[in-house]
Structure 1
Amino acid sequence: MSGSIDRKKNQKGFLKEKVLQIYDKLFQGQDITQGRAGFWDDFFLLKVNVKWLNTHFEKAVSDDLIILKPQLNRLLLQCLHTAEHDKHRIRVANAIQTMDALVSGVYRCKTPADSTMDASEFLLNPEQVTDFMQHYTTLCSDMFRENRPERLRSLMLNSMHTFVTVSQDNVTYVHCLKLCFDKILLTCDRLSKYLLFAV
């Protein structure tokens, strides 16, 4: 019995270590997929380490993120794609949480006081913002219109709160988020219950 428990502990430790190894490669500017076709399916089965990501972003400076923008951009877009199209609830949950950690993380980064660059530009090119937010709006709407697990709906509400909190000065983000809330209110009469718990 003790041997079985030890094996389970070792397996959990390995999975945790594996996701941290991937994060390390990401922030070293490496291609975390290494050209492997099934990488993202496996990656989003690994539990997100939000604390590690938050800590890393808090220590980072804007110059670091400018260099890493291609990697961060790719990961963010993949998070949204997985959350929007994957049917595996664990992958969807981890994709949403990873996306939120990236969005909130770039706003934790140290930027020069005289910088005019919005933190969202570390993740998306200006021409990508509208398309990204349109897909994000669709994801939010579908999450409440379709029969989805309560856990995923809760994560989606947390995600919307994250986006609203960090993007108050970005007109495009705010406009799309307003459309997002309006669309959900029109398509889901159950939303009021979730909003009451989210406040």
Structure 2
Amino acid sequence: MNKLAILFSCTLLAACSPAVAPTPPLAGARIGGPFTLTDENGKKVSDRDFAGRYRIVYFGYTFCPDVCPTDVANLMHGWQLLGKTDPARANKIQSMFITVDPARDTPDTLKSFTANFDPRLIGLTGTPEAIAAVTKAYGVAVSVQKPTAPGVYFVDHTNAAYLMDPDGKPLALLPSDGTPKAIADELSKWVK
């Protein structure tokens, strides 16, 4: 068989072979798990309430002076951009902001915060124990700094935005410090 025939045969085989889906970067990682928290309307919610939906999960706090609001704005702009180009896929996603500062982030405080970014973004809080459990399940480290005045303090925490699949399994980290297009592209890659 000449080289041209071999090349042609290989090309046909490659064209007829099913495409192999890429493996999500966080596939198999032990990130996430069951939780019961309080939403921004004061209602108890659990991870089961989001079953069947992809989830953008971001941990932060409303009193954060810079990183958290910037990241959330980027994430929401990326999600909105996906909604403009592929609304069906964007509608399969639920975004949530889980506080790492339950002492100050009451449901009302969260509701005011999330309203600044997207009406579909849900703020979640809970008891200190519930927040400690969910941050541990998601591998988020939290350290409350010494107050500079009564009720005035910063919270250091892991800066990560997770994309979870409809079963609550981790798919990928979203580039929350990236452009909306980079976020939309990452969402588009994994949301089916």
TM-score, normalising length: structure 2: 0.28
Please identify which structure carries the higher strand content.
2
Q: Which has the larger radius of gyration?
A: 2
TM-score, normalising length: structure 1: 0.28
